[in-house]
Amino acid sequence: MKKSNKMTYVATGCAVMMVVVFVTLVYESRALSYLSSDPKVCITCHTMNTHYATWQHSSHREQASCVDCHLPRDSFVKKMVAKSIDGYNHSVAMTFGTYGKNLRVTANAAERIQDNCISCHAEAVAQMHENSERYTKFDDEVAMGRRCWDCHRMVPHGRTKSLLSTPDNLGVKEL
């Protein structure tokens, strides 16, 4: 066999092996599930189990999933960009253990959550906005001076986000 034929077979074999490894990696990591809006995708990371369990018992469970609150809802492209950035940041934090004892919302995510709260509760927010002069302003950057969770701290994840707050929910319950 000629040397060039051997190189062709070796190169083809390497390419096939790379494709097999890539497909196996995508399959084993359930990477395609991250394109869905299923809340169970969020608990592929063990630190999200209590967030999921407390959401399961909240009033929002029937109305909103994780992505409804945490991702932009105005465009598919913005949603996928935010999902990619958040996913990358989460994977780095989980890999290197840099997230601390409690997860903290980023400034960008806080804006998205606030916008989504307002879009779902527009009627109530409009009434509050009319009365906003009666409220003390905390933050000039935010409409009415406060974020929704300044008052609604326990919505939808409860007061404490630890395994102690959800002792009966160490496993995931089916919806």
Confidence of residue 116 (pLDDT cuts 50, 70, 90): very high
Is the Cβ–Cβ distance between 58 and 66 less than 8 Å?
Answer: no
When comparing pLDDT for 169 and 77, which is higher?
77
Question: Is the C-alpha dihedral spanning 169, 66, 84, 24 positive or negative?
Answer: positive
Confidence of residue 175 (pLDDT cuts 50, 70, 90): very low
Which amino acid appears at position 104 of this protein? R
CA 80 → CA 52, 92, 106, 139, distances in Å? 21, 18, 17, 29
Question: How buried is 149 (Cβ within 10 angstroms: 0-12 exposed, 13-18 middle, 19+ buried)?
Answer: middle
Helix/strand/coil percent split, the chain, to 5:
65, 0, 35
pLDDT score of 10: 93
pLDDT score of 95: 81
Q: What is the pLDDT of residues 2-26, one digit of tens each?
A: 667 888 999 999 999 999 999 998 8
pLDDT score of 143: 63
d(CA 147, CA 36): 28
Is the Cβ–Cβ distance between 142 and 135 less than 8 Å?
Answer: no
**Average pLDDT over every residue of 105-115:** 89
Q: Indicate the fold that domain 36-165 takes in CATH.
A: Multiheme cytochrome fold (1.10.3820)
